[in-house]
């Protein structure tokens, strides 16, 4: 495996470009987006209540779902300018971390931390007999674990880690490819307030070093100061799209969540009281 081979992407190509994407379950629309485009380097939060379409959007991006085909061919979900990717190629550009992924890595058969990270090079859960691990892969895996302050966990089994520790290990797994962007689906789920703040500050370090962050959440407290754009979803459609300062207001959030909201701000972080 040639780790140096990264798909060539023009800097002006959007990280994500969605046009006329509709996802149905039976006769019910789970998501219906006319347009959504996110540029490279544009840290973005996808915000909405439960049932707003966030999970469906994540599955569109990760290619677990595909939009309804239209007769005129106008429907598409493009990642870095392409609709179809080989997983091994795409992971060099876009890393993905979600609670569902974490559940897969912390349950069932035992899996050691370093093996969980380095097996990311093979798009596998753990190492197989046919996987040839190079010294460069080991160096990349160790570097990623250090970056996430998780190298002290080497030797532990994934199932023995706390929620926050496992989350750090899985982000390290994604970072072994040195991707341009990370898609983080509810990354703070299950973390206590102290662990959440520490984890978010680690994510800020990634943002400052050039990794584009797409953060999917229903908690405005998780929106990093580095994120300036907010996309709001409600009932499977676009509710609002704009700057953080314009959208993270009591009036807007009250309309989004359907209850009165009081918003405060401290050190670049927003918080809401319902």
Between the alpha carbon of residue 176 and those of residues 62, 92, 94, 132, 161, the distances in Å are 18, 9, 11, 16, 20
Burial class (CB in 10 A: 0-12, 13-18, 19+), 108: exposed
CATH of the domain at 126: 3.40.50.300
Q: What is the pLDDT of residue 72?
A: 78
CA 207/CA 213 separation, integer angstroms: 7
| Cβ–Cβ < 8 Å for 140, 87 | no
The answer to whether the pTM exceeds 0.85 is yes
| Cβ–Cβ < 8 Å for 270, 264 | yes
Q: Does the residue 119 lie in any domain?
A: yes
List the chain pLDDT tens, one digit each, 274 residues: 455 566 789 989 999 999 999 999 888 899 999 999 999 999 999 999 999 999 999 999 988 888 987 777 788 999 999 988 887 788 889 998 887 777 777 776 789 999 999 988 887 788 888 888 999 999 999 999 999 999 999 999 999 999 889 999 999 999 998 899 999 999 998 888 888 899 999 999 999 999 999 999 999 999 999 999 999 999 999 999 999 999 999 999 999 999 999 999 999 999 999 8
Q: Does the residue 29 lie in any domain?
A: no
Nearest to 58 by CA among 98, 13, 101: 98
Report residue 2 as tokens: 């040639």
Structural domain of 132: 94-178
CA 35/CA 64 separation, integer angstroms: 19
Q: Does the residue 11 lie in any domain?
A: no
| Cβ–Cβ < 8 Å for 214, 225 | no
Nearest to 8 by CA among 89, 73, 63: 89
Produce one character per residue of 9-35: b if its CB has 16 or more CB atoms within 10 Å, e if not: beeeebbbbbbbbbbeeeeebbbbbee
C-alpha 1: how far from chain center? 25
Q: What is the pLDDT of residue 123?
A: 77
Q: What is the pLDDT of residue 253?
A: 97
Tell me the DSSP string of 205-228: HHHHTT-EEEEEES-GGGS-TT--
Q: What is the pLDDT of residue 42?
A: 98
What residues pair up with 182 in beta bridges, in sequence order?
A: 95, 213
Give 184's contacts (C-beta < 8 A, 6+ positions apart): 97, 98, 171, 203, 213, 214, 215, 216
| Cβ–Cβ < 8 Å for 243, 229 | yes
Q: Does the residue 140 lie in any domain?
A: yes
Alpha-carbon radius of gyration of the chain: 19
Q: Does the residue 118 lie in any domain?
A: yes
Q: What is the pLDDT of residue 3?
A: 59
Nearest to 210 by CA among 244, 169, 182, 187: 182
Q: Does the residue 17 lie in any domain?
A: no
- Reduced 3-state DSSP string for 46-77: EECCCCCCHHHHHHHHCCCCCCCCCCCCCCEE
Q: Does the residue 227 lie in any domain?
A: no
Q: What is the pLDDT of residue 2?
A: 55
Q: Does the residue 273 lie in any domain?
A: no
How many structural domains comprise the chain?
1
């Amino acid at each position: 495996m040639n780790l140096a081979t990264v798909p060539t992407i023009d800097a002006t190509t959007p990280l994500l470009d969605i046009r006329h994407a509709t996802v149905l379950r039976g006769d019910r629309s789970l998501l219906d987006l006319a347009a959504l485009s996110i540029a490279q380097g544009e840290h973005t939060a996808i915000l909405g209540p439960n049932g707003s379409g966030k999970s469906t959007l994540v599955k569109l991006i990760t290619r677990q779902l595909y939009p309804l085909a239209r007769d005129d061919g106008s429907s598409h979900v493009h990642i870095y300018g392409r609709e179809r990717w080989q997983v091994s190629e795409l992971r060099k550009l876009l890393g993905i971390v979600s609670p569902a992924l974490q559940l897969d890595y912390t349950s069932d058969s035992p899996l050691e931390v370093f093996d969980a990270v380095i097996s990311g090079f093979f798009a596998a859960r753990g190492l197989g007999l046919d996987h040839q691990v190079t010294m460069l892969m080991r160096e990349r895996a160790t570097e990623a674990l250090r970056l996430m302050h998780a190298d002290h966990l080497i030797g532990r089994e994934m199932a023995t880690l706390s929620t926050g520790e496992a989350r750090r290990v899985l982000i390290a797994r994604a970072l072994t490819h040195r991707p341009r962007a990370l898609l983080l689906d509810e990354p703070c789920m299950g973390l206590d307030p102290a662990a959440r703040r520490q984890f978010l500050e680690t994510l800020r370090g990634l943002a400052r070093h050039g990794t584009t962050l797409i953060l999917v959440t229903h908690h405005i407290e998780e929106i990093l100061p580095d994120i300036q754009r907010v996309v709001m979803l409600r009932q499977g459609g676009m509710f609002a799209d704009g700057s953080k300062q314009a959208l993270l207001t009591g009036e807007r959030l009250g309309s989004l969540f359907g209850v009165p909201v009081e918003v405060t701000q401290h050190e670049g972080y927003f918080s809401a009281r319902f």
